[in-house]
Chains A and B, each alone.
Chain A
Amino acid sequence: MKKQDRQIVEISYQIDLTKITDDIASSDNLENDRDVFAALSAIEVVKHEFKLAEKKIEEIEKQVKTTIDARARKLYGNHWTVIKDSEDRYKIIKVPTGPVFEASDKAPDEFLKAQISVNTEAVESFIKDHSKLPKGISYNGVRGQSIRISVKDTGVE
């Protein structure tokens, strides 16, 4: 068996969350405050490192799955879909992706399901032309929120 180079992923990072939140909370304003900028940069650096590590782990996971599939095919043939151990410690499943069936234009309606969603671009174009909403369309009063932070010139590649 060919000896492969060891691939080891190690993540170790310290972040002083108390200092970061204290610096932001005690800043006079959020503009031109070096401590705030440093805090936001620190978070971005850690995020970036973790993203790199996550990407590496995903590559390794993909490699492991490919190896498992190759071994399972050799042992049980190409049609294997599940391997389960006797102690319920693990189960390996190979599933096809995508819809199970496809339809042509001859398929009767009873076997089809239509999903309706708003065409945002068409609605915004109508608003620009008519200065009002189209009939049957209203603004979504229930929307969630997420805060995104982007930081420039952090020196992170």
Chain B
Amino acid sequence: MQTIKLSYSILSQWESGQYERAVNMYQGSELPINPAMELGKAKHDQWALYTLQHKKIHNEIGGDVLHNPVVEQKYEKIIPLGEKYQILLRGAIDLTDEHIIYEYKCGLNMPTYYVETKQLDYYKLLYPKATLGIYLCFNPYSNTFTKGVKYLSDTNAEKALEHILTYGGEMIDYLAGNQLIYNYKPHIYAK
């Protein structure tokens, strides 16, 4: 049985036809970074550190008080795919607070865009106790933020699983056909 390590980022690239990019990400290649991505990373780090220190969300993105915040936790799940392969699904969630998942975004996109993606569905699969997903979208050019709310249920996890089996299956077929499969040795960080 071979283990293929995949993530929402990789499979969403594959789904949108960005095959080369998806394969590069699977292989661990560094993506080219632009100033907007650098700013986004810096903001993520700043907000994460603030939450660790103050047990609340940074004032820039609402300042909500948290109960039991967990920052940048990695989650994994094994998903069988036939007899030959299994998918190791991995994800790092920006912030969880008991049954709530928070995802930070920095840029021009609004929460209306993000709630339509499968990201929170994937996170529901990785963090089943979540019943609420919240996008905190910071616009660094206007210095304002907006908030998007997505309720989460088992339906979201099922949608994510279907997505993984469909596009993960496609991608694995391609990798196998091009001898690009790398058998990953999993380390379980959290269940």
Contacts and interface: CB of A to CB of B under 8 A. Distances in A.
Contact of B115 (A72, A77, A84, A87): A84
A79 B150 CA distance: 15
6 contacts: A79-B145, A83-B148, A83-B151, A84-B151, A91-B115, A95-B112
Contacts of A76: 134, 147, 149
A11 B106 CA distance: 49
Interface stretch (B48-56, B71-79, B152-160): B152-160
B111 A81 contact: yes
Interface in B27-73: 62, 64
Contacts of A129: none
Interface string B116-150: 10000000000000000010000000001111111
A86 B146 contact: no
Contacts of A86: 150-153, 155-156
A85 B151 contact: yes
A14 B125 CA distance: 54
A93 interface: yes
Interface of B: 62, 64, 110-112, 115-116, 134, 144-153, 155-156
Interface string A11-36: 00000000000000000000000000
A139 B4 CA distance: 67
Interface of A: 72, 76-77, 79-87, 91, 93, 95
**Which DSSP category, helix, strand, loop or mixed, fits chain B's interface?**
mixed
Contacts of B152: 86
A84 B62 CA distance: 20
A91 B113 CA distance: 12
Contact of A87 (B64, B149, B153): B153
Nearest to B145: A79
A63 B146 CA distance: 24
Given A81-B148, A82-B149, 9 more contacts: A76-B147, A77-B147, A79-B62, A82-B148, A83-B149, A84-B115, A84-B148, A84-B149, A86-B150
A93 to B, nearest CB: 6
A83 B148 CA distance: 6
